Amino acid sequence: MLKLYDGDYSNLTFLDYIGEADSVVISESINEDYTLSFYYPQNAKCKNIKVNNLVECEGQFYRIISVIDASMEMIRVSAMHIYDADSPTVHIPMISDHIGVNPQAVLQTAFQGSGITLISDRDDLVGNDGFLIDFFAVDKTSPKGVMQSVIENCGFGEVYKDNKSVALIERLGTDKKTKLDLRKNVSALTITRDMGDIVNRLYAYGKDDATMDQYIGAPYIDSVESIEKYGLKVGYKDYSDYTKPQDIYKHAIWEFDERNKDRIDIPSITIEGSVIDLAKIIEGENSFNLGDSVIITDIDGNSYEERIIKREYYPYEPKETSITIGRVKKDMAFYMAQMGKLAGRYSKVSTNSGKITAHNVTGAVSTTTDNVNISASGTQTSDKLIRVIVNNNTKVNIGISGSNYVFTVYDKNGVQAIGFDTSGNMTFNCSQITVGGKVLKVTGGNLTIDGKKILTEE
């Protein structure tokens, strides 16, 4: 039965039981929001069913996001899991670079003081095997935003949620291999085979773009059978923790291994259907949870073993559960989100005219063109000429201009102090020169060293 509380999770105040709720449905997807929705009759209890209050269902709390008058008799309530609802509201101004660290170290920084507990005592936490990442600074974000950024950085990882306690683990669910059979407990089955993500020629790179070349004589490996069946599909992967060619090869070849459930050289299969959870009505039957590996059999007897990546179920009614099984993959929505994030990051480091400001550039800058301009008071190149500018005043020119080599230094007044003449001879234009501690200068029309006149032949 659903329970209603006020909105303060840190100091819960019970308001009422809402046992007359109808069509209570929970929707869960790996690394996406968990939601709860239900209908409720228009009665005296509705005064407490309002946005921001909390609903407890199956031990988990959901924050009410919207209440809609669906009809004269019913309201429709939509709620979001408390982690998904509350973690984006915690503002993090800035998280600095974390280079070569355990992913959990980044998350600890992000979740500290957020009111959300990061679980640290599980054996399956991402990074417990020594895996390290380079996490670059982000600003104007939230704990949930950092969690997603860490997952993208790692290339794997799934969020385990227990109210306001969360963890980034290697995978949700278990390998119970619950059997789902179209002839027994599955209906409305659809099977989609997608070859859009296939890679059967894999270029593998390690740290500092190291390759497998010295180990196998080529920077790539082929899945010959996949190429013959689906045509050549080229892609690459970075294994930035490894420098030895044999280590890069070992990880690359696993991508094609038949024992790898996430191998990249075959089509991915996505299966959707409605399932009767026999565990609710038959003792001894296995149930199934988000992330579980299941074996599903179609009407022709073909079996597929994949994971439940989404489920929508009714905890209090004997209705069929809708599930999607397949692989956790980056779909078009993921890439569009990434484009949005890149655009946001670009807007933070660029000027109104579209130029990148110098204080936002770190590391090495390379270019295939001859003209680079990094801010109005920074360093620029033109025609392979490097120019150092301070406060809009040129201080040094060095490089090639046209057919001439240029080396020019200017004094504080902007007058050339050192440079080459048109014949290639270096000239000095200054009041004095110090050589080996001796001051060479012109005094009273005579060339002197430390004030002593140098005799010259008439």
Amino acid symbol at 72: M
Residue-level pLDDT, tens digit, the chain, 458 residues: 899 999 999 999 999 999 899 999 999 999 999 999 999 999 888 888 999 999 999 999 999 999 998 777 899 999 999 999 999 999 999 998 888 899 999 999 999 999 999 999 999 999 998 888 888 888 899 999 999 999 988 878 999 999 999 999 999 998 877 777 766 667 666 777 777 778 999 999 988 888 999 899 999 999 999 999 889 999 888 887 788 899 899 889 989 988 776 788 888 777 787 876 655 545 555 567 898 888 887 777 777 777 888 889 888 887 778 888 776 544 333 334 444 444 444 444 444 444 444 444 444 444 444 455 554 455 555 546 677 877 667 778 787 766 677 788 887 767 778 887 766 777 777 777 888 778 888 887 777 888 887 766 65
Give how far Cα 124 sits from Cα of 101, 110, 157, 240, Å. 17, 20, 10, 22
Place of tokens 């089955």: 189
Q: Domains plus CATH for the chain? A: 3-84 (no CATH), 90-169 (3.55.50.30), 178-194+267-326 (2.30.300.10), 201-254 (no CATH)
Residue-wise DSSP of 324-342: EEE-----HHHHHHHHHHH
pLDDT of residue 31: 93
CA-based nearest residue to 200, from 171, 245, 235: 235
Single-letter residue type at 433: I
Model confidence, pTM: 0.62
Phi/psi zone of residue 445: left (φ > 0), alpha (ψ -120 to 50 degrees), beta?
Answer: left
Contacts of residue 349, defined as CB under 8 A and 6 or more positions apart, other chains included, come to 356, 357, 360, 361
Cα–Cα distance, 383 to 401 (Å, whole number): 6
How far apart (Å, rounded) are the C-alpha atoms in residues 158 and 145? Answer: 14
Assign 102 to helix, strand or coil: coil
Burial of residue 359 (number of CB atoms within 10 Å: 0-12, 13-18, 19+)? exposed
Distance from C-alpha of 229 to C-alpha of 184, rounded to nearest angstrom = 34
Residue among 266, 263, 235, 268 nearest 251 (CA): 263
Cα 438 to Cα 433, 435, 448, 450: the distances in Å are 8, 5, 10, 6
pLDDT at 122: 93
Q: What tokens does 262 get?
A: 């996430």
Closest CA to 100 of 63, 138, 131, 69: 131
**Tokens encoding 374:** 């990094």
Query: For position 326, what pLDDT does the model report?
Result: 73
* Neighbouring-strand partners of residue 439: 434
Cα-atom radius of gyration of the chain, to the nearest Å?
33
pLDDT for residue 372: 52
Residue 18 to residue 5: CA distance in whole angstroms: 11
CA distance 143 to 319: 36
Q: Tokens for 395?
A: 């201080």
Task: Say which residues have a Cβ less than 8 Å from residue 223's Cβ, sequence separation at least 6.
Answer: 200, 201, 202, 256, 265
- State the pLDDT at residue 356: 47
